[in-house]
Amino acid sequence: MIPVGTKAPEFTLQDKDGNTVSLSDFAGKKVVLYFYPRDNTPGCTKQACAYRDNFAAFQDKGVVVIGISKDSVKSHQNFATKFDLPFILLSDPERQAIEAYDVWHEKKMCGKVSMGVVRSTCVIDENGMVIYSADKVKTDADPLNVLAFLEA
């Protein structure tokens, strides 16, 4: 995961509706970027729903929440509709942001080794600097940990 104190890498990706979204669109605002492996899997669903359930607290702080995975725009659209997700989901099939934020790593599961997204979260401040960075985050605790950081 990208270290604290680093300038956040710029990216431009499509959201669940096919609109182009760039990190620079949110200059002057804090942004939570959370990277997750895949739509509609148990852990990723739990994490997304935890962000949904705490979304009002992020809005109250003026913080933008963005989830990023390799899934397609259509997959994100279905995922957001199915679970009533109010925040931005970005599709990164070419791993532009995933690799720029250093969350594409070797993973071991059930004895198999493969490459994939390591569940990670960062917070970017109003000036585009990374002020919080965590990898291997716990699905349901992630939004609460970010909110605790933002309140500190």
Residues designated catalytic: 44
Residues 6+ apart with CB under 8 A from 41: none
* Cβ(23)–Cβ(11) below 8 Å: yes
- Distance between CA 64 and CA 6 in Å, rounded? 19
- Distance between CA 141 and CA 97 in Å, rounded? 23
Burial class from Cβ neighbours inside 10 Å (0-12, 13-18, 19+) for residue 39 reads buried
Cα torsion 144, 148, 149, 151: sign: positive
